[in-house]
């Protein structure tokens, strides 16, 4: 199916999706966060084909998101654990879950709720500004060129965008 790679794009979203945007990958990671570690456990729980599971676990390991740890010799068996890089994907899964809880339950109740250990309460993840702690949403955020922005790409975006004022750097 010769899928195009996003990894050469000059964009953190694209580069992230190039790794974890493949079919099944985020569901595998969800299961890891739930405590699933072993090949057969992933396979039976997800109903994924062995070939694809092998492929995805190899990719995630190669990218340093999971690491293989032996849990027995003879025969040698490994389990897959999250690295720090992998654990740092937790907010991505929480965001996906929060959206699904709001928009995709089809009238059913929410299957999973998280408890925040530090305060002991059931929690809803909230996205807030690192500076003022106010809520962040699509309406109160404005993209601006970062230090690594390329002038050529900015020009292109301004040209095709409906609002050319976006991406003006008036910091």
Q: Would you say 75 or 134 has its CB closer to its own copies? A: 134
Name residues contacting its own copies, limited to 108-137 (CB under 8 A).
108-119, 121-134, 136-137
Beta bridge partners of 77: 72
Q: Per CB under 8 A, does 61 bind its own copies?
A: no
Q: Would you say 77 or 168 has its CB closer to DNA? A: 77
Give how far Cα 31 sits from Cα of 36, 54, 85, 127, 137, Å. 5, 15, 16, 23, 28
Give how far Cα 118 sits from Cα of 25, 26, 35, 115, 170, Å. 29, 26, 20, 9, 39
| Residue tagged 């580069």 (tokens) | 15
| Shortest distance, position 65 Cβ to its own copies, whole Å | 9
Task: Indicate which of DNA, its own copies, none lies near residue 50 (CB less than 5 to 8 Å, by partner kind).
Answer: DNA
Task: Indicate which of its own copies, DNA, none lies near residue 91 (CB less than 5 to 8 Å, by partner kind).
Answer: its own copies
Q: Per CB under 8 A, does 54 bind its own copies?
A: no
Task: Indicate which of DNA, its own copies, none lies near residue 57 (CB less than 5 to 8 Å, by partner kind).
Answer: DNA
Helices (H), 7-89: 12-20, 25-33, 39-46, 50-62, 84-87
| Shortest distance, position 57 Cβ to DNA, whole Å | 6
């Amino acid at each position: 199916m010769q899928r195009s790679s996003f990894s050469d794009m000059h964009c953190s979203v694209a580069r992230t999706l190039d790794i974890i945007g493949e079919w099944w990958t985020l569901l595998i990671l969800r299961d890891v966060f739930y405590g699933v570690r072993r090949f057969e456990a992933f396979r039976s729980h997800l109903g994924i084909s062995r070939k694809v599971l092998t492929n995805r676990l190899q990719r995630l390991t190669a990218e340093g998101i999971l690491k293989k740890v032996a849990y027995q010799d003879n025969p040698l068996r490994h389990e897959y654990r999250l690295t720090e890089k992998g654990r740092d994907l937790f907010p991505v899964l929480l965001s996906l879950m929060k959206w699904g809880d709001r928009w995709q339950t089809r009238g059913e109740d929410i299957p999973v709720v998280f408890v925040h250990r530090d305060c002991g309460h059931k929690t809803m993840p909230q996205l807030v500004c690192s500076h003022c702690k106010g809520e962040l949403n699509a309406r109160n955020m404005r993209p601006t060129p970062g230090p690594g922005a390329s002038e050529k790409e900015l020009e292109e975006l301004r040209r095709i965008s409906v609002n050319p004022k976006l991406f003006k750097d008036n910091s």
